[in-house]
């Protein structure tokens, strides 16, 4: 059993500490993203940093515990989209509600745009979410309402672009992302589509770009979008920092 699971054998005080840590992390991640210092999370939870590491050995374990419900919610959104009769409205619902989750929580925005490593059930749910998104895309293309040249990798960059908009406008115009998304949706429509000047990225290219890594011939395959930002606002830590912290 991993430290992120709700272990029934925990003492009452240990269970209380765990719940306080998850609550504190959820609040701080939502406000400022997943790079909040762990010491700050421990202070808000009113426990020692040693207690935090006892319950969550790495930042990744804490991220798993905090965002498991958000990842599951994103899967439910995709399932609801596939249940809709109108293929275009299904795509709109999928993107609007996924983007709304991102806008409401800067930490989840990081999880989506940087595709930070998840474990166990959370990672399985994310993989299912990618597959459901692919099905929504294919169905809309078969109905000739989504441009035929759009790929899953293109859609990963739509979400990445939305994430950057959320970060840039959260403090000054928190609803500005809706305008940005509407512009992107118009660009996805099949009607009056113009030929695109470049071919889509291959899955391996998208992985490398979204992970912020240099090209490498032997990168381990990951789901589209599994990686970090191409760029980020000043003061934000990157995927390399996050990964290094997991090993410390």
pLDDT for residue 121: 79
What digits encode the pLDDT tens for the residues 19-62? 999 999 999 999 999 999 999 999 999 999 999 999 999 999 99
Check whether 228 has a pLDDT greater than 60. no
Q: What is the DSSP string of the chain?
A: --TTS--TTS-HHHHHHHHHHHHHHHHHHHHH-TTS-HHHHHHHHTS-HHHHHHH-SSHHHHHHHHHHHHHHHHHHHHHHHHH-S-HHHHHHHHHHHHHHHHHH-HHHHHHHHH-----HHHHHHHHHHHHHHHHHHHHHHHTT-B-TT--HHHHHHHHHHHHHHHHHHTTT-TTHHHHHHHHHHHHHBSTTPPPPSSPPPPHHHHHHHHHTPPP-TTPPP--TT-S--SS--TT---HHHHHHHHH-
Structural domains present in the chain:
9-57 (1.10.10.60), 67-211 (1.10.357.10)
């Amino acid at each position: 059993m991993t430290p992120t699971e709700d272990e029934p054998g925990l003492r009452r005080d240990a269970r209380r500490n765990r719940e306080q840590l998850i609550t504190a992390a959820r609040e701080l991640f939502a406000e400022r993203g997943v790079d909040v210092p762990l010491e700050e999370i421990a202070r808000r939870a009113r426990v020692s940093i040693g207690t935090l590491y006892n319950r969550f050995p790495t930042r990744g374990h804490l991220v798993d515990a905090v965002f498991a419900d958000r990842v599951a919610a994103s899967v439910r959104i995709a399932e609801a989209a596939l249940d809709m009769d109108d293929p275009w409205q299904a795509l709109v619902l999928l993107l609007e509600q996924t983007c709304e989750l991102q806008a409401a929580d800067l930490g989840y925005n990081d999880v989506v745009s940087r595709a930070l490593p998840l474990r166990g059930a959370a990672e399985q749910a994310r993989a299912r979410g990618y597959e459901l998104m692919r099905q929504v895309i294919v169905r809309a293309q078969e109905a000739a309402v989504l441009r035929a040249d759009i790929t899953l990798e293109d859609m990963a960059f739509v979400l990445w672009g939305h994430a950057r908009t959320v970060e840039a406008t959260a403090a000054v115009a928190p609803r500005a992302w809706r305008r940005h998304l509407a512009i992107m949706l118009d660009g996805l429509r099949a009607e009056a589509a113009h030929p695109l000047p470049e071919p889509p990225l291959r899955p391996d290219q998208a992985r490398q770009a979204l992970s912020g890594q240099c090209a490498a011939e032997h990168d381990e395959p990951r789901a589209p979008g599994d990686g970090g930002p191409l760029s980020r606002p000043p003061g934000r830590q990157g995927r390399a920092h996050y990964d290094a912290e997991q090993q410390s």
